[in-house]
Amino acid sequence: METKEERLMTKKIYDGFTEKELDQAFDLIKFPSGDWKDPIQARVLKKDLRVLEASIIYYCGCGFNSVKKDNQDAWDDYYYIKADGYYISMVH
């Protein structure tokens, strides 16, 4: 029988991602104050955009408001993202 931890690591629960993948992605971008329901602003790698947006939709009920390329680092593909977060998205 599969344990809860095994299910977290293997069962796809949203947009092709496991709960563990969504948790790890959301931990990278949630507001540093520790209140995960606050608006989100972060600088992230392009390769992570899909899982990051999936995690925001899954936990907050909203997607990105803004995605802008950061042209300062020519060697890395970074983007600035913004999302309303849980508090704001639940009001609208």
pTM greater than 0.75: yes
pLDDT band at 6 (very low <50, low <70, confident <90, very high): confident
Residue among 51, 47, 38, 19 at smallest CA distance from 82: 38
Domain map (residue ranges) of the chain: 4-91
- Say if residues 55 and 22 touch (Cβ distance below 8 Å): yes
Three-class SS state of 76:
coil
Say what the alpha-carbon torsion angle 47, 52, 57, 60 is, to the nearest 10 degrees: -160
Residue among 61, 46, 51 at smallest CA distance from 26: 51
pLDDT band at 91 (very low <50, low <70, confident <90, very high): confident
Q: What is the pLDDT of residues 12-66, one digit of tens each?
A: 999 999 999 999 999 999 877 678 899 999 999 999 999 999 999 999 999 999 9
